[in-house]
């Protein structure tokens, strides 16, 4: 640091950093600060460099932690930054590059120090370090203004009030990153924090006044997707005042600084992610999601979530109810366009989910759009490429579809939108298909993938719920979509009988079924002549008939037989036995979906009728099954309309807070945390 350009590896030896963290107190008016803040070195552009920066910072921080109670140098640095930010807006208007450059450097140092402080000490110790002043050893002022609160408020003011120009882009990103770091104490706790310094400063006091303005600014940063200035354009002139201070960045150094934004900084930690075109939009979205998912304070709800729940369209002239705090307006058309364009990232999909689920104004607006394909197609593409996505991203995309399908208008309109040449759908060439039929194909494919790979009950349940919501409004189904509905159901019908065979007759070498039914009073002659390996129509019919009479007894005997054959200890049933209930649930739901379609829109779906008639023999077998006979017998009768509504878990923060912070860890630009320090979520093996 200081007047000479530095490499990251040299930082622990840097004389200016040694003085900052040393035993000598430095007054906030000392010329030393101009020297310290006139550093220039290429910003880290890889996870390796970020790790080196972290290690170098730890060395300086530990020295500062030891000496700060006597020197108060951390407080002095914060005050230098605060005094400079008061002139930052004017400096931006006057194009004062040098002043903004030094102010950014001050914030960069603070952010690096703060990140290590938060990781290595308790919140109480952290707050104490912000109170130390240059007095007698160990003393601090108890009646002074809360410096930490003033610093957080200053960050919020910087984010919301400083005009976004080429020369302020970098400091705007740094301010948002520092806010993320301030909130990062959650990373180092296994349990969700319900009381922390974030609750103390962000949900009450002076910072509360910035709530709606901050949320609005972060949303607009996401909407605008402002790119950083091109490399080489942000160059400070080299000057010298005779004292050896170098107020400038060489062209190559400036290029290096901006490269971190162009390349994404931490791309090596998330290699599958696309190149980020707007670091400001990315950091803003991550901060917004962190704020929205803070737990409520003991005496007040999360104001940032309240702001997200209540904002309205700029074209909505109706007054806000007095009971709604932190209200503001934003351009819904611009927001909708940005959401449609950015769905390749987890965080954009999570924002879409948050807005659809929590803001009724947004939900109403989106459902009224006549170009819903622009939003639905990216969501379907996420589900289609399920193998390449993490499970949380897939789950969020699916819940978005479930929320949309709760609306009958949406379910009708998607069958009126005709799409041409869906190139990413590779199983079959789709030259022309309705959005509704494509949605059915992708959701069925997702269920199939889940049943064979991930085996997540919640995933297939929500897939089936979305199809069920749509079923009464199925219209003019594409031939392939109709075939997939019937063929997928038939596949599980066959699989169900096969699992029953394995469950009740586990000895594959047996040639008859007599051994399993010999103790029962029911007549089993018809079954005796059938082998376990060939599940014929008459076998299925008789087996289901027998199940309806002796289901529990047969299941009990089969279970006991299985356990006895495996070991004398309590051994869980094989996978195929555990699958039985899941398969039965899928079959029943698919039959109800077919039934709902035939009941409500028979004449609109000839392709489904043809596909059903083609497989009629297989469906006939299940008329006597106790779990399906009510649906089978109602195939031509009135059947109640299926309707499912998405409801969040009682404690959604247990899912969303670790998820949001995993996105911050993997996607934040220029921020690195040692994976060994992370407690909130389990790190991936890679």
**Contact in structure between 305 and 358 (CB atoms under 8 Å):** yes
**Contact in structure between 208 and 216 (CB atoms under 8 Å):** no
Per-residue pLDDT of 629-663, as tens digits, reads 565 555 545 556 678 888 888 888 999 999 999 99
Question: Which residue has 């002239």 as its token pair?
Answer: 317
For residue 40, list its beta bridge partners: 5
pLDDT exceeds 80 at position 64: yes
Tokens of 114: 């703060």
**Given phi > 0 = left and psi -120 to 50 = alpha, else beta, which region is 24?**
beta
**Contact in structure between 279 and 666 (CB atoms under 8 Å):** no
Cβ-Cβ contacts under 8 Å for 380 (sequence gap 6 or more) = 438, 439, 442
**pTM, entire model:** 0.82
Helix axes 211-224, 303-310, angle to 10 degrees: 60
pLDDT exceeds 90 at position 387: no
Confidence of residue 484 (pLDDT cuts 50, 70, 90): very high
Per-residue pLDDT of 596-605, as tens digits, reads 888 888 888 8
Per-residue pLDDT of 256-269, as tens digits, reads 333 333 322 223 33
Confidence of residue 282 (pLDDT cuts 50, 70, 90): very high
Highest-pLDDT range among 109-118, 244-253, 373-382, 492-501: 373-382
Q: Which long-range contacts (CB under 8 A, 24 or more apart) does 307-315 make?
A: 307/211, 307/212, 307/215, 307/216, 308/215, 308/354, 308/355, 308/358, 308/359, 309/358, 309/359, 310/359, 310/361, 311/212, 311/215, 311/216, 311/359, 311/361, 312/361, 313/361, 313/365
**Contact in structure between 420 and 431 (CB atoms under 8 Å):** yes
| Rounded Cα gap, residues 64 and 61, in angstroms | 5
| Rounded Cα gap, residues 192 and 195, in angstroms | 9
| Rounded Cα gap, residues 590 and 608, in angstroms | 13
- Mean pLDDT computed over 473-500: 86
| Rounded Cα gap, residues 501 and 535, in angstroms | 8
| Rounded Cα gap, residues 463 and 475, in angstroms | 19
pLDDT exceeds 50 at position 443: yes
Confidence of residue 618 (pLDDT cuts 50, 70, 90): low
Tokens of 382: 């996420």
Confidence of residue 530 (pLDDT cuts 50, 70, 90): very low
Q: Following DSSP, what letter does each residue of 102-118 receive, concatenated?
A: HHHHHHHHHHHHHHHHH
- Mean pLDDT computed over 542-554: 45
- Mean pLDDT computed over 563-567: 46
Question: If DSSP codes are grouped into helix, strand and coil, which group holds residue 434?
Answer: strand
For residue 188, list its beta bridge partners: none
Per-residue pLDDT of 288-307, as tens digits, reads 999 999 998 777 899 999 99
Task: Mark 163-190 as b/e (b = at least 16 C-beta within 10 Å).
Answer: eeeebbbbbbbbbbbbbbbbbbbbbeee
Confidence of residue 534 (pLDDT cuts 50, 70, 90): very low
- Mean pLDDT computed over 212-234: 87
**Maximum pairwise Cα distance, the chain:** 108
Average pLDDT, the chain: 79
**Contact in structure between 156 and 179 (CB atoms under 8 Å):** yes
Per-residue pLDDT of 407-419, as tens digits, reads 999 999 999 999 9
**Contact in structure between 309 and 354 (CB atoms under 8 Å):** no
Residue with the larger pLDDT of the pair 245 and 557: 557
Question: If DSSP codes are grouped into helix, strand and coil, which group holds residue 435?
Answer: helix
Residue 603: how many other CB atoms lie within 10 Å = 7
pLDDT at site 506: 61
Residue 649: how many other CB atoms lie within 10 Å = 9
Cα dihedral sign, 525-526-530-535: negative
**Contact in structure between 367 and 375 (CB atoms under 8 Å):** no
* Nearest of 155, 241, 242, 152 to residue 202 by alpha carbon: 152
| Rounded Cα gap, residues 235 and 253, in angstroms | 9
Tokens of 249: 């960045």
pLDDT exceeds 60 at position 139: no
Task: Give burial (CB, 10 Å; 0-12/13-18/19+) of 622.
Answer: buried
pLDDT at site 610: 85
The number of residues in the chain equals 686
Per-residue pLDDT of 20-39, as tens digits, reads 999 999 998 899 999 899 87
Phi, psi angles (nearest 5°) of residue 360: -65, -30
Q: Which of these ranges, 68-82, 201-215, 473-487, 505-519, has the smallest mean pLDDT?
A: 505-519
pLDDT at site 159: 96
DSSP alpha helices (H): ranges in 86-232? 88-93, 97-120, 123-129, 147-161, 169-182, 197-202, 211-224
Task: Give burial (CB, 10 Å; 0-12/13-18/19+) of 239.
Answer: exposed
Interstrand relation of 329-330 and 418-420 (parallel, antiparallel or unpaired) = unpaired
pLDDT exceeds 80 at position 578: no
Residue 331: how many other CB atoms lie within 10 Å = 14
3-state helix, strand, coil in the chain (%, to 5): 60, 0, 35
Q: Which of these ranges, 279-288, 550-559, 668-677, has the smallest mean pLDDT?
A: 550-559
**Contact in structure between 269 and 54 (CB atoms under 8 Å):** no
pLDDT exceeds 90 at position 280: yes
Confidence of residue 619 (pLDDT cuts 50, 70, 90): low
Residue 574: how many other CB atoms lie within 10 Å = 14
Task: Mark 20-31 as b/e (b = at least 16 C-beta within 10 Å).
Answer: bbbeebbebeee
**Contact in structure between 542 and 527 (CB atoms under 8 Å):** yes
pLDDT at site 55: 83
Task: Give burial (CB, 10 Å; 0-12/13-18/19+) of 681.
Answer: middle
């Amino acid at each position: 640091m200081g007047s000479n350009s530095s490499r990251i590896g040299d930082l622990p030896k840097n004389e200016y950093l040694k003085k900052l963290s040393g035993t000598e107190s430095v007054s906030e008016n000392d010329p030393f600060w101009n020297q310290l803040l006139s550093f220039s070195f290429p910003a880290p552009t890889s996870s390796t460099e970020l790790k080196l920066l972290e290690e170098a910072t730890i060395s300086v921080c530990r020295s500062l932690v030891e000496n700060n109670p006597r020197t108060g140098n951390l407080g002095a640095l914060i005050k230098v930054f605060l005094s400079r930010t008061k002139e930052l807006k004017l400096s931006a208007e006057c194009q004062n590059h040098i002043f903004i450059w030094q102010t950014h450097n001050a914030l960069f140092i603070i952010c690096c120090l703060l990140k290590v402080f938060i990781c290595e000490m308790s919140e109480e110790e952290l707050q104490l370090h912000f109170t130390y002043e240059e007095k007698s050893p160990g003393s601090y002022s108890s009646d002074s203004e809360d410096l930490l609160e003033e610093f957080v408020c200053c960050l919020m003011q910087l984010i919301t009030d400083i005009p976004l120009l080429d020369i302020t882009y970098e400091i705007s990103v740094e301010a948002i990153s520092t806010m993320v770091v301030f909130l990062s104490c959650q990373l180092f706790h296994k349990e969700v924090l319900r009381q922390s310094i974030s609750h103390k400063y962000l949900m009450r006091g002076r910072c509360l006044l910035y709530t709606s303005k901050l949320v609005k600014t972060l949303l607009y940063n996401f909407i605008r997707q402002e790119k950083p200035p091109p490399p080489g354009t942000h160059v400070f002139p080299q000057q010298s005042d005779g004292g050896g201070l170098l107020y400038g960045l060489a062209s190559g150094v400036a290029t290096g600084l901006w490269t971190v934004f162009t390349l994404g900084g931490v791309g090596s930690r998330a290699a599958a992610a696309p190149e980020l075109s707007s670091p400001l939009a990315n950091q803003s979205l991550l901060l917004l999601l962190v704020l929205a998912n803070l737990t409520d304070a003991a005496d007040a709800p999360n104001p940032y979530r309240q702001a997200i729940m209540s904002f309205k369209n700029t074209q909505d002239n109706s007054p806000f109810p007095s009971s709604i705090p932190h209200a503001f307006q934003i351009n819904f058309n611009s927001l909708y366009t940005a959401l449609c364009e950015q769905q390749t990232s987890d965080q954009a999909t999570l924002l879409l989910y948050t807005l659809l689920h929590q803001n009724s104004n947004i939900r109403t607006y989106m459902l009224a759009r006549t170009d819903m394909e622009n939003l639905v197609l990216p969501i379907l593409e996420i589900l289609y490429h399920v193998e390449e996505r993490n499970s949380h991203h897939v789950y969020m995309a699916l819940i978005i579809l479930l929320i949309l399908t709760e609306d009958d208008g949406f379910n009708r309109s998607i069958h009126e939108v005709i799409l041409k040449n869906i190139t990413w759908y590779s199983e079959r060439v789709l030259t022309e298909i309705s959005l509704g039929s494509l949605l059915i194909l992708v959701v069925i494919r997702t269920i199939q993938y889940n049943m064979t790979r991930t085996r997540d009950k919640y995933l297939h349940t929500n897939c089936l719920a979305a199809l069920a919501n749509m079923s009464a409004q199925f219209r003019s189904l594409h031939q392939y979509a109709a075939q997939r509905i019937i063929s997928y159901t038939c596949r599980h019908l066959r699989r169900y009988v096969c699992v029953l065979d394995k469950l009740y007759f586990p000895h594959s070498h047996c040639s008859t079924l007599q051994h399993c039914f010999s103790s029962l009073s029911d007549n089993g002659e018809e079954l005796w002549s059938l082998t376990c390996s060939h599940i014929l129509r008459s076998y299925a019919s008789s087996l289901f008939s027998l199940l309806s009479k002796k289901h529990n007894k047969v299941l009990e005997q089969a279970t006991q037989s299985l356990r006895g054959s495996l070991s004398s200890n309590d051994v869980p049933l094989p996978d195929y036995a555990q699958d039985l209930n899941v398969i039965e649930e899928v079959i029943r739901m698919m039959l109800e979906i077919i039934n709902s379609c035939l009941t409500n829109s028979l004449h609109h779906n000839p392709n489904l009728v043809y596909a059903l008639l083609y497989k009629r023999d297989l469906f006939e077998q299940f008329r006597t099954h106790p779990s399906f006979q009510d649906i089978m017998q109602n195939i031509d009768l009135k059947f109640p309309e299926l309707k499912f509504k998405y409801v969040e878990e009682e404690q959604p923060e247990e899912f969303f807070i670790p998820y949001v912070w995993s996105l911050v860890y993997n996607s934040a630009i220029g921020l690195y945390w040692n994976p060994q320090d992370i407690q909130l979520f389990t790190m991936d093996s890679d």
